[in-house]
Amino acid sequence: MNALIRYFPTVDYSPCWQAMRALTDHRGDDTEDELWVLEHPPVFTLGQAGKPEHVLNPGDIPVVNSDRGGQVTYHGPGQTVIYLMLDIKRIGLGSRGLVTAIEDSIIEFLNDQGINAASRDDAPGVYVNGAKIASLGLRIRRGATYHGLAINRDMDLSPWQRINPCGHVGQPMTTLRALGVTLEREETEQQLVTVLAKRLGLTPRTAPLPDWYNSPSTLSAG
């Protein structure tokens, strides 16, 4: 199965979210799956189960109420986000199977960098020695998924101290750079996409940026 891979520079969270939802609402049985690979400007997002009390001190960073699963998380420069717009019936995975496949893909990528990582039954994501390096949050709608994963490459971790990450008080965070991985952004993203596509049974094909990204409301984002 083909999957279109779209590599964005930086894009604001809200228009990206609306575009993901629109693609999901209008897709048909023959619509190709897509992966959007990008960075967001600083933003906190609250999932559907998100409790406002887990946002401790947002300061000048905006807080967006999102329709993904999970609690509160942070996106910002130096973090790679991969959104997965997938027909899960066609792929042959349920929601739990998809989460496991994504986590295992990240663990495989980290293992390729010489890092021993693991998932947790009680908290989605990927962890290295107890510190969280990757977060997950998905939404299933009309038999398809959107939202996805975020992995910390070389980001400022101080904003995480303004929240309880994913609802866990005092959860330590880490980055690829802190663990000695010096891959550039492009190489990191390409390797992650390759591992994800293989595990999900997808044939990746790089595609241009969509029309919505070049609209006046998003020109300032990238």
pTM for this one?
0.94
Contact 87, 31 (CB under 8 A): yes
CA angle, 214 as apex, 213 and 216 as ends, to 5°? 105
* Superfamily (CATH H level) for 2-212: Bira Bifunctional Protein; Domain 2 (3.30.930.10)
Neighbouring C-beta atoms of residue 69, cutoff 10 Å: 18
In the chain, domain spans = 2-212
Ligand-binding site membership of 73 (annotated):
yes
215 — pLDDT class (breaks 50, 70, 90): low
Mean pLDDT of all residues in 80-102:
93
Residue numbers annotated as active site:
166
Question: Is the model's pLDDT at 219 over the cut of 80?
Answer: no
Ligand-binding site membership of 28 (annotated):
no
Ligand-binding site membership of 137 (annotated):
yes
